[in-house]
Amino acid sequence: MKLQLNIQPLNTWLNIKNEPLIISGPCSAETEEQLLTTAHLLAATGKVSVLRAGIWKPRTRPGEFEGIGSIGLEWLKRAKAETGLPTAVEVANAKHVEEALAAGVDILWIGARSTVNPFTVQEIADALQGVDIPVLVKNPINPDLQLWAGALERINRAGITKLGAIHRGFSSYEKSSFRNEPMWELAIQLKTLLPDLPIINDPSHICGNRELIPYISQKALDLDMQGLMIESHVDPSIAWTDAKQQLTPAALGELAERLTVREPESQNEAFTDQLAELRKQIDKIDDLLLQKLGERMAIVGKIGEYKRDNQVTILQVNRWDAIIKKGISFAKALKLDLNFTEKFLELVHGESIRKQTEIMNAGKAEKGIAAETHTEVKS
Ligand code: PEP
Ligand code: MN
């Protein structure tokens, strides 16, 4: 599926001061002094193109700091007047949109907790009808590409063409080193659906801590993302929200200095020729891999019939153990990543089981015995 959205290139609506594009500022506007000091220090780095600040904060539990509210918009106005930095805030309903527009905010973004809800996104879209302002849509909390794309579509249909996405990672039940799993493949899939859409990475909300921010920032740039949104606070240790993941403006400046911006393409002819040659070799190998998988699945089909005719179960745990052991020791010798090898073998094995189940149960449905089916329901 390709989506047809009317999107204006990022550099036509945003004056990028320095490569890469960096949007920075506190998670929350707390006091006028905190916001203004942070803004001045960020501007002084010369690396920041947009000042961000949360004015209304969506909090998981009630009773926590829920944002300073409208007064913070006045502080932002002052920060912009004094530093020349355009401003960005999160909006989560029509009232936020109206207030932010009235206060002259330059860029709006939709937070992860809003993108999950089509009613909320539509309310924001309706409030944006006829308005010419850039809007960035964060990925939904849950890893659902359709929800993310749907939110972008709703905003675009309201006439917003200065549109971008923010990749801030996805909530996961499993413990990991990240606060939100990056699941890069989803951002890549969005890029495939909408090649013209600028995607900005948010390492702060992915990492949840300062230490991993440089690694994720560089990785995002290497995956051809158009910029970074990184939280920064004059004194992160006393920040009212997201204290662990904010950088001082000085640390942000140093990080920006160390990042390497690589080009998606090279003009160098020798490089292009060599790359094309290597890609040809890879394509040949991919063809072979698929051909071999086809041959493997044909044999799996025969085994399925054989097991069915002899009343043998599909799964023999010993056999599976042996495959994994043999595969892993072979992978070691080939210097393949073991985690990758295990996942690959599991995927192939899963498909073999699915195919054999299909064969075992063929014909049962007609006899009134329901074969197990998986129907995906999308609302
Ligand atoms: C934020 O940017 O401060 C924020 C609340 O982010 P998210 O919507 O990604 O959780
Ligand atoms: Mn935050």
The total number of residues shown for the chain amounts to: 379
- In angstroms, rounded to a whole number, what is the distance separating the alpha carbons of residues 246 and 209? 8
Q: Phi and psi at residue 170, in whole multiples of 5°?
A: -125, 140
Q: Which amino acid is at 244?
A: K
Residue 276 Cα to ligand 2 midpoint, Å, equals 42
pLDDT value, residue 364: 67
Helical ranges in 116-259 per DSSP H = 118-127, 145-157, 184-193, 203-207, 213-222, 249-258
Token pair for residue 372?
């197990």
- Nearest atom in ligand 1 to the alpha carbon of residue 241 is 3
Q: Which domains does the chain have, with CATH numbers?
A: 10-258 (3.20.20.70), 269-378 (1.20.59.10)
> What is the enclosing helix (H) or strand (E) of 355?
helix 338-361
Q: Does the Cβ of 205 fall within 6 Å of ligand 1?
A: yes
Q: Does the Cβ of 111 fall within 6 Å of ligand 1?
A: yes
β-strand partners of 87? 51
Token pair for residue 10?
């990022």
Token pair for residue 101?
């527009």
Token pair for residue 132?
């010419």
Q: Does the Cβ of 168 fall within 6 Å of ligand 1?
A: yes
Which residue, judged by its Cα, is nearest atom 3 of ligand 1? 27
| CB contact set of 91 (below 8 Å; sequence gap of 6+) | 56, 97, 100, 108, 109, 110, 124
CB 24 within 8 A of CB 83: no
pLDDT value, residue 365: 55
Per-residue pLDDT of the chain (379 residues; tens, 9 = 90+): 678 899 999 999 999 988 999 999 999 999 999 999 999 999 999 999 999 999 999 888 898 999 999 999 999 999 999 999 999 999 999 999 999 999 999 999 999 999 999 999 999 999 999 999 999 999 999 999 999 999 999 999 999 999 999 999 999 988 889 999 999 999 999 999 999 999 999 999 999 999 999 999 999 999 999 999 999 999 999 999 999 999 999 999 999 999 999 988 888 999 999 999 999 999 999 999 999 999 999 999 999 999 899 988 888 888 888 989 999 999 999 999 999 999 999 999 999 999 999 998 886 654 544 444 443 344 4
| CB contact set of 258 (below 8 Å; sequence gap of 6+) | 214
Which residue, judged by its Cα, is nearest atom 8 of ligand 1? 111
Q: Does the Cβ of 167 fall within 6 Å of ligand 1?
A: no
Helices 213-222 and 249-258 meet at what angle, rounded to 10?
40
CB 314 within 8 A of CB 308: no
pLDDT value, residue 378: 43
245: exposed, middle or buried (Cβ count in 10 Å: 0-12, 13-18, 19+): buried
Q: Phi and psi at residue 321, in whole multiples of 5°?
A: -55, -45
- Nearest atom in ligand 1 to the alpha carbon of residue 169 is 9
**How confident is the model over 176-207, as pLDDT tens digits?**
899 999 999 999 999 999 999 999 999 999 99
Residue 372 Cα to ligand 2 midpoint, Å, equals 44
CB atoms < 10 A from the CB of 192, how many?
Answer: 11
**How confident is the model over 120-166, as pLDDT tens digits?**
999 999 999 999 999 999 999 999 999 999 999 999 999 999 999 99
Q: Does the Cβ of 54 fall within 6 Å of ligand 1?
A: yes
